[in-house]
Amino acid sequence: MKQTHDYQHDIASIRAAMERSSKFLSLSGLSGVMAGVYALAGAGMAYYLLYYPQAPYGSQPHIPATQAGIIRLLILAFIVLILSIGTAIVMSYRKAKRAGNSIWNTTSRQLLVLLGVPLITGGLLIITFIINEYFGLIAPACLVFYGLALVNASSITVKEIGYLGFSQLILGLFAALLPGYGLIFWGVGFGVLHIIYGTVMHYRYDS
Amino acid sequence: MKNPFEQLDRILEHRVRLQIMSVLVANDSYDFNSLKEVLNVTDGNLATNLKALEKEKYLTVTKSFVNRKPNTKYKATEKGRTAFRKHLDALEELIKNQR
């Protein structure tokens, strides 16, 4: 007959199986820090493109209505996006491999769907903003949709992702309230917050 | 009072089978390779225990092909979920009694 500690062991194994099967825990904290660095560098360059040599933020940017200016900004944004996603995939892949897991499993597929729906919807909406020249809404929309994606995905990964999501949402709403400061909010959200939460996740979970 | 030992599910007293059901109760459905990875067991061990659970109608099996590779998905049935919950209740009862 089994002893009490056997039953306790049974319960522990249930808990472990449920947790491991329903959460994606290979997310690399350091890749979050890197994404923050890329975002800050990108925001710095965008600031230069938009405002240099004119007055500080808050005043109307002087170029974006030209097509060349918009295309340059879009290319810059695209580079930041690709670098961030690429770093996240490579570093999470390495982290999963160290732990003897694969990166492509049921939970990672779920994670992609949970993140993908708000992100792709937001991305398409932002493209319509660009076409219609609602430039002031781009930064708040980036932050809000990214925040929604993170909150949406937080149930199947580490809890810090949820906190990061809520922070982005709040920041996005403030950005919408203060048009003209979009780039600053964008830099704080995608740059500073990524670096902070990435560092926290790195110390808590990367090993 | 009913004896909690009698409430234990004999099928689920096996650790691997118990873990398989835990995964299937916590998730909508799960495929063979992901299960193998989460539970850290061999192909043969996993297959045998999945067969046993299928025989009891605790789970259903869907076979399909993804990029020509076989992809087998498992889903807990209502019967399986009920059995799992009862087994958990019995475990809880046992621990409480023996403290």
Is residue B20 within 8 A of residue B72, CB to CB? The reply is no
Whether B91 sits inside 8 A of A10 (CB atoms) is yes
pLDDT in tens, B52-86: 999 999 999 999 888 888 889 999 999 999 999 99
User: Distance from A10 to chain B by nearest Cα, in Å?
Assistant: 7
**Between chain A and chain B, how many beta carbons pairs sit less than 8 Å apart?**
60
Domain ranges of chain B: 4-98
Distance CA B11, CA B97 (A): 22
Find the mean pLDDT for residues B32-60.
Answer: 93
Whether B27 sits inside 8 A of A21 (CB atoms) is yes
Average pLDDT, chain B: 89
- CA dist list (Å): A110 to A45, A82, A92: 35, 21, 16
Find chain B residues with C-beta within 8 A of A15's C-beta.
Answer: 22
Distance CA A82, CA A1 (A): 58
Distance CA B72, CA A175 (A): 47
Average pLDDT, chain A: 89
pLDDT in tens, A116-131: 999 999 999 999 999 9
Whether A14 sits inside 8 A of B19 (CB atoms) is yes
pLDDT of A5 strictly over 60: yes
Of A4, A15, A107, the CB nearest to B98: A4
Highest mean pLDDT of the ranges A13-22, A57-66, A99-108:
A13-22
pLDDT in tens, A142-175: 999 999 999 999 999 999 999 999 999 999 999 9
For domain B4-98, the CATH class is mainly alpha
pLDDT in tens, A41-86: 999 999 888 877 665 555 555 545 677 888 888 999 999 999 999 9
Find the mean pLDDT for residues A95-112.
Answer: 86
A101: pLDDT confidence band, cut at 50, 70 and 90? confident
Distance CA A77, CA A114 (A): 23
User: Distance from A62 to chain B by nearest Cα, in Å?
Assistant: 51
Q: What pTM does this model have?
A: 0.80
Q: Identify the pLDDT of residue B32.
A: 93
Of B26, B33, B37, the CB nearest to A18: B26
Give the chain B residue whose CA is nearest to the CA of A5. B95
Q: Identify the pLDDT of residue A168.
A: 97
Q: Identify the pLDDT of residue B69.
A: 83
Is residue A33 within 8 A of residue A41, CB to CB? The reply is no
For chain B, the DSSP string reads ---HHHHS-TGGGSHHHHHHHHHHHHSS-EEHHHHHHHHT--HHHHHHHHHHHHHTTSEEEEEEEETTEEEEEEEE-HHHHHHHHHHHHHHHHHHHHH-
Q: Please choose, from the candidates B29, B33, B31, B76, the residue with its C-alpha nearest in 3D space to the C-alpha of residue B56.
A: B76
* Geometric angle at alpha carbon B17, from B11 and B20, rounded to 5°: 140
Find the mean pLDDT for residues B81-95.
Answer: 91
Q: Identify the pLDDT of residue A82.
A: 96
pLDDT of A138 strictly over 90: yes
Distance CA A89, CA A116 (A): 15
Q: Identify the pLDDT of residue A146.
A: 97
Of B23, B31, B92, the CB nearest to A18: B23
pLDDT of A36 strictly over 80: yes
Chain B residues at the A interface, defined by Cβ less than 8 Å, are: 13, 15, 18-20, 22-23, 25-27, 30-31, 33-35, 37-39, 88, 91-92, 94-95, 98-99
Find the mean pLDDT for residues B27-41.
Answer: 90
pLDDT of B41 strictly over 80: yes
Radius of gyration of chain A (CA): 20
